[in-house]
Amino acid sequence: MSHLVTTRSTAGHAAASSGPGHPEGEPGGRGRLVEVVIPVYNEERVLPASVRRLHAYLSDTFPYAWRITVADNASTDGTWRLAEELTAELPAVRAVHLDSKGRGRALRRVWSGSDADVVAYMDVDLSTDLDAFLPLVAPLISGHSDLAIGSRLSRGSAVVRGPRREVISRCYNLLLRATLAARFSDAQCGFKAGRTEIVQALLPVVEDQEWFFDTELLLLAERTGLRIHEVPVDWVDDPDSRVDVLRTALDDLKGMARVGRRMLTGGFGAPVSGRSRARTRTDDDPEGTGGGELPAGMRRQLPVFAVIGAVSTVVQLVLFVLLRLVMGPLMANALSLVVTTIGNTAANRRFTFGVTGSHRAVRHQIEGGLTFLLGLGLSTGGLALLHATVANPSRWVEVAAMVAANAVATLVRFLLMRAWIFHPRRLPSPRLPDAAEGVAVDAVTGAAAAEEGGR
């Protein structure tokens, strides 16, 4: 159940004045409506000042029509009362109340029913410098891009935050790139926008209702061939952030595994015609979503490898935390990597590269062990560097450093497996499976071997 409070100028068009500094925008084609959503949960301390600051900024500088929507997702303090007061005080401000928590749920509720041309959202603390807002939405209004995100990790950004959150953020985005082939640089910055028609077409496919919502929306957009514009931002960390970092990290890993499974089964796509949809369709990319740019077979292999990698990462981190109770970080890291490497190699052998039976299984494990040494070197070096630069880092900062090192090792490991350990020239010739076995030979291996034999 939700409640909506509107104001004297809910759509930003009803005020009396006209000009670039007013909610109704300028005449002459500059009246495109941009709706800015501020999702909040128990934010009575900062909500009034943040909304007034944003309202003043848009009134003074923003050249398009705009509306601010406060989306209160089940606050238990005075947040909703303050939101109602703001709607009565400020033109072009409205408030929506939801009875369930979840940032993704709040954004879905407002965006799915918006009549604006562009929808956006900002974190209530306004950690991102507002001067980046016009560069964020301008490519959407012009039609150049489909989605736009603020990035704290791209060249030109200026970020002030503690080492713990910096390490965790970089680890998360490295993991996305290594396991799900994400090309955007910053998935979780609370500063995003999209063309409304595009966002509303993607929303029914996005499952997450909380913190992974942003990431899943961006992954879906890339998968669909849409254009994502990135804006370097100046960003100052809010020391009073209410985010449960550990729980959010675990939920994100679960979300990555779920998206990887959907990619594997072909159920992760949306009926949106992006610019990249005109790419040539190939046998390896029948939908024309851009997979044809990858080497033959990699489009099929990456999602399987991503799921196995996500599961292996979770298992290794759990083992590391348990082993740290009885031993030092370097030994705990080494032992947890040994255990997970054996299982990871066996799983990738069977499911990613379609190799069955016991033939050369021992050799594959030995060669997989060499990639283990690479992962051990990267993660051990990362831990050693962390302890050399940060005095007495917390257990979760250690875990974050391991995730970053393992993300790099994971990408290199996949390339080594594909180009060396399980390269078609080093595998037995594929044979037709026995009917009793009912096991299909992996299409990628077979296609690559056939191509190799035809040269």
pLDDT digits (tens, 9 = 90+) for 355-408: 888 888 888 888 888 877 776 677 677 777 777 777 787 777 777 776 777 777
Please enumerate in sequence order all residues whose Cβ is within 8 A of that of 233, keeping only pairs 6 or more positions apart, or say none: 128, 129, 132, 150, 151, 152, 157, 189, 191
Q: Which of 18-27, 30-39, 310-319 shows the lowest per-residue confidence on average (mean pLDDT)?
A: 18-27
The larger pLDDT score, comparing residue 41 to residue 297, is at 41
Q: Which residue has the higher pLDDT, 244 or 8?
A: 244
- At residue 256, φ and ψ (nearest 5 deg) are -65, -40
CB within 8 Å of 8: residues ≥ 6 apart = 14, 15, 91
3-state SS assignment for residue 72 = strand
Q: Three-state DSSP class for 259?
A: helix
Count Cα atoms within 13 angstroms, Cβ side, for 336. 27
Helix (H) or strand (E) segment spanning residue 148: strand 147-151
pTM of the entire predicted model: 0.63
Structure token pair of residue 331:
């030994």
- Tokens describing residue 82: 């303050």
Give the chain's length. 455
Whether the predicted pLDDT of 85 surpasses 60:
yes
The residue type at 61:
T
128 closest CA partner among 107, 147, 150: 150
The backbone torsions φ and ψ at residue 68, rounded to the nearest 5 degrees and listed phi first, read -110, 130
Sheet holding 65-73, edge to edge: 2-5, 93-98, 65-73, 33-40, 118-122, 191-195, 147-151, 228-232
pLDDT tens digits, residue range 45-73? Answer: 999 999 999 999 999 999 999 999 999 99
Return the pLDDT at 371: 73
Which superfamily does CATH assign the domain made up of 8-237+244-262 to? Spore Coat Polysaccharide Biosynthesis Protein SpsA; Chain A (3.90.550.10)
Range 212-237 average pLDDT: 94
Residue 278 pLDDT: 37
β-pair type (118-122, 147-151): unpaired
Single-letter code of the amino acid located at 411: L
Read off the pLDDT of each residue in 96-108 and give the average, rounded to a whole number: 95
Q: Alpha-carbon distance 54 to 125, whole Å? A: 11
DSSP string, 287-344: T-SSGGGSPTTHHHHHHHHHHHHHHHHHHHHHHHHHHTTTS-HHHHHHHHHHHHHHHH
Q: Is the pLDDT of residue 318 over 80?
A: yes
pLDDT, tens digit (0-9, with 9 covering 90-100), for 289-299? 444 344 556 77
- Give the start-to-end residue ranges of the domains of the chain: 8-237+244-262, 299-453
Give residue 264's pLDDT band: very low, low, confident or very high (50, 70, 90). confident
Taking residue 325's Cβ as centre, other Cβ atoms within 10 Å add up to 7
Distance CA 245, CA 426 (A): 44
Stretch 184-205: mean pLDDT: 95
| Tokens read off for 379 | 């993660």
Rounded to whole angstroms, the Cα distance separating 74 from 142 reads: 36
Q: 88-102, 269-283, 308-322: which has the highest mean pLDDT?
A: 88-102
* 298 vs 132: CA distance, rounded Å: 37
Mean pLDDT of the chain: 79
Higher pLDDT residue, 440 or 98? Answer: 98
Question: At 394, is the secondary structure helix, strand, or coil?
Answer: coil
**If we measure between CA atoms, which residue out of 170, 275, 267 comes closest to residue 220?**
267
Do 316 and 296 form a contact (C-beta atoms < 8 A)? no
Q: How confident is the model at residue 15 (pLDDT cuts 50, 70, 90)?
A: very low
Spell out the residues 6+ positions from residue 249 whose beta carbon is closer than 8 angstroms to its own.
168, 172
- What band does 287 get if pLDDT is binned at 50, 70 and 90? very low
- CA 69 to CA 113: how far, in whole Å? 12
In this structure, what token pair is assigned to residue 351?
Answer: 């499911």
Is 213:111 a contact under the CB 8 Å cutoff? no
- 228 phi and psi, to 5 degrees? -110, 120
Per-residue pLDDT, 293: 45
Identify any residues that bridge with 122 across adjacent strands, giving them in sequence order: 191
Q: Using one digit for the tens of pLDDT, what is the confidence trace for 237-262?
A: 876 666 666 677 778 888 988 998 88
Taking Cα atoms as reference points, which of 179, 163, 168 lies closest to residue 407?
179
Phi and psi dihedrals of 262, rounded to 5?
-65, -35
């562009």: which residue's tokens?
A: 118
Hey, which residues does 376 pair with through a beta bridge? none
Q: Which segment of 101-115, 133-147, 174-188, 432-446 scores lowest on mean pLDDT?
A: 432-446
57 three-class SS: helix
